[in-house]
Structure formats: structure tokens, C-alpha cells
Amino acid sequence: MVDVNDSDSTAANGTDAARAAGSGDEPGLAVTHFNFTHRVFQAPGARFLSKGHAHVPTFRVEMGDIEALIEIDVLRKEFGIKPESPDGKLVDLAVAGLRYVVDIKPGDSIPSELLSGKASWTVSPKHKKIAEQRLQVQLLSWVSGKEMLLTDPGEIAMFLQQLENREKLRNAFRDAAVALGHAPDNTEPVIVQVELLARELCYIEALRDRYSLIPKIGEKLVALGKSYGNDRNGKMELNRIHGLLQTGIEEYTAAFTEVDAQTSEIISALKSIDRQARYIREKRDALHFLMMQWDSHVNNLDKWQARRTPETEKLLSALYRFLAPRYSAGRSILKRKAAPQGPASKDKAGAKTPAAPQSPAPAGARVTAS
């Protein structure tokens, strides 16, 4: 897992790179959009994306009825994009930005994760409320000295609505004020700190909600397995996929458990909001990156049927191709650091490419039918 300090340096480096990418007329002014100037970025369909399960940053352009996928080092070399130029800095930002968005097109805004550390995606008021209520339960747990094992948002809301617990919560805020160095009646600083922490944790709650759909894929597999009859080989393959799915579920479940444990020491968390925010953002970004890879399978939940059909076979095959390279050898996407994108160690073989975007793809580019 990436260290918390790595998360800080990523945002800091992103801000520095954004300033460096600004025009010479306005030195030090951070840019907010991917406003490239080289002609290659004006080519049809130009965008940056991650390729394969290794998530290799790649530049894509359309060339008539085909698409060209160009390695980043080849892009820099063949089109003369110098590392210290504004375009070179924006390429660095685009590569880093693929950790937070699916693709980046010229003219897109730079992900705020790289500029300020804040999330570039939004959450609903529901998730903000859930985060606040979880923290309130933590306060009640702290003041009583007993761990309260409440995880379901509905159960938490009902628990806090009980008259007895509402009075206990008011007392908990007073005790927390004292613990933070304030007078018992001065609970406003505690309320502010809880609000700040909830602003960060609401993203974790939104992700938790989204991840809760993944086990439903397992339910689809179980229902499908009932239609396999005496097909032992088919059942074995299905069981293997289900096992890989469970490994993936265990991975993100452990990540959420880790975040919950970190914030369970509520007074310590309120005393170190900045450090807690950095930690939560690191976990938020890692879980969001992983969820981007699960999204297509979650979005296809309604397409599964409890019997073998061409569509079901297609979904099953796609699920296996996603799971196998990630979890068959005990690998973890969350613990896998993105491959560094430095200068090419050696020249790529192949014909020299003209600068015009409409020309044949450069050496190192993979051309496929669109």
C-alpha cells in the first residue's frame, strides 16, 4: 500500500507540475485544464487511458477506421515533446491523473486530487449523514468505554434516535470538549472537528455503498450454477471464478476495516484532523481506483440470467479476464503501485514517424480496428 506521505507528495508534485505547465507569461500560475498546444493532441479521438490489467498509461488517437495506442515514452520522443515544456508537464499530469479518472482528453480539467487533494467526484447528502452518524456512535463508544458493533446505516440511525442515546450523545460532546482542551459547555469546536472529519469520511461511505453491489455478482454465479446440471467441468470453472471473486471481496473489505479501525479512536482522530484527512484521502483514492475497475461488472448486474445464454457466457468470460490476472496469484490491486513513467531506457525500433497526426502510427504504437 502506498504510504500516506506518498499521497501528500503526489498532490504536491501535481500542484508544482500544474504551475510549471502554465504559460511563460504567467509564471507560477497553476493551470486547471489540459490545454495542450502540440498538433498531435488535436487529432481525432485524442485521449490518455490505461491499457490492460497492468494499467499502463497510453495515448490514443483515431486514424480513420482504426485507432492507434501510443506508449507515453514513444509519444514524447516521436513528437518532440520535451519533459520541461508545458506540454511535457501536462503529459506527466495526465499520466498521474489516470489514477483518478478513466480517461483524459485534451481540454479536460485536471483532477483536483492532483491539485488540492480533494476528490474530483461528488457524494450525496445521504453519505455525509452516514459519516456523521458513525462518528457520533464512536463518541458514544468512547464515553461509555464499550465498543458498539453497529455497522448498518439504518441500525445506526435508529440507535441515535433513541431518547436515551440522544442525551448520552450531548454528554459525550461535553466530555470530548474537555478532552480537546475546552470548557465542558464549549462543544462548538468538537462539532466543527466532527464536521471536518465527516467531510472526508463521506467519500468512504459512498464507496462502501458502491462496493456493496459486488457480492451480488456472486449471487448471480450461484444462480447460474444451478443450470449447469451434470456439467462437472463447467461447474469447476464457475467455482474457480467464484473463488477469485471472493478474493477480490476480501481485499476491499480489509481496506474498509482498516479505515474504520483508524477512526475508531475518535478523540485521537479529532486531535489530528490534518493527519486523518491525509490518511482517509489516501484510502479513498486507492478504493476509488479499484472501483473504477469493478464498475463495468457492477453496471452489468442486470444483464445476468440464471441460465446459459450467449450474453451470460460473454459476461462470465469478461469477469474471468478481469479477476484471473489480479487475484489468481494472491495479488492485490490496492497494494500495487503504479509503474513509474520515466524517460525510455532504450529507443523503440521501427520507422520514423512524421509529426502530423494523420501520418502512420509511430514505432511503439499498437494499431487496432476501432
Ordered DSSP codes for 218-232: HHHHHHHHTT-TT-H
pLDDT class of 18 with cuts at 50, 70, 90: low
Task: Look at residue 1 and tell me whether its pLDDT is greater than 60.
Answer: no
pLDDT class of 264 with cuts at 50, 70, 90: confident
CA dist 274 and 102 (Å) reads 28
Share of the chain above pLDDT 70, in %: 81
State the helix-helix crossing angle for 86-97 and 4-20, rounded to 10 degrees.
150
pLDDT class of 24 with cuts at 50, 70, 90: very low
Q: What is the pTM of this model?
A: 0.81
Give 285's contacts (C-beta < 8 A, 6+ positions apart). 7, 99, 100, 113
Longest dimension (CA), the chain: 77
Please, what is the average pLDDT of the chain? Answer: 85
Write the pLDDT tens digit of every residue in 40-70. 999 999 999 999 888 999 999 998 889 999 9
Question: What pLDDT shows up at residue 99?
Answer: 96
Task: Look at residue 346 and tell me whether its pLDDT is greater than 80.
Answer: no
Q: What is the mean pLDDT of residues 251-256?
A: 96
Question: What pLDDT shows up at residue 366?
Answer: 55
Range 247-261 burial, b when 16+ CB lie within 10 A, else e: ebbebbeebbeebee
The beta strands (E) that lie in the chain are given as 47-51, 56-63, 66-71, 103-104, 365-369
pLDDT class of 352 with cuts at 50, 70, 90: very low
Q: Are 136 and 171 in contact (CB under 8 A)?
A: no
Q: What is the mean pLDDT of residues 186-201?
A: 96
Question: What pLDDT shows up at residue 337?
Answer: 46
Task: Look at residue 345 and tell me whether its pLDDT is greater than 60.
Answer: no
Domain parsing of the chain, residue ranges? 4-99+345-369, 125-327
Question: What pLDDT shows up at residue 148?
Answer: 83
Question: What pLDDT shows up at residue 120?
Answer: 94
Residue among 108, 280, 112, 111 nearest 205 (CA) = 280
CA dist 181 and 267 (Å) reads 11
Write the pLDDT tens digit of every residue in 303-322. 999 999 999 999 999 999 99
SS3 content of the chain, % helix, strand, coil (to 5): 55, 10, 35
Q: Say which residue the cell 490476472 belongs to.
A: 325
CA dist 111 and 322 (Å) reads 26
Quick one: cell of 186?
Answer: 464549549
Write the pLDDT tens digit of every residue in 83-110. 999 999 999 999 999 999 999 999 999 9
Quick one: cell of 252?
Answer: 476491499
pLDDT class of 331 with cuts at 50, 70, 90: low
Write the pLDDT tens digit of every residue in 120-171. 999 999 999 999 999 999 999 999 988 887 888 999 999 999 999 999 999 9
Distances, alpha carbon 264 to alpha carbons 123, 141, 205, 291, 320, in Å: 22, 9, 15, 24, 36
Find how far residue 19's CA is from the centre of its chain: 24
Query: Half-sphere exposure (CA, 13 Å, Cβ side) for 92?
Result: 24
| Sheet containing 66-71, strands listed edge to edge, beginning at the edge strand earlier in sequence | 103-104, 47-51, 56-63, 66-71, 365-369
Write the pLDDT tens digit of every residue in 208-233. 999 999 999 999 999 999 999 899 99
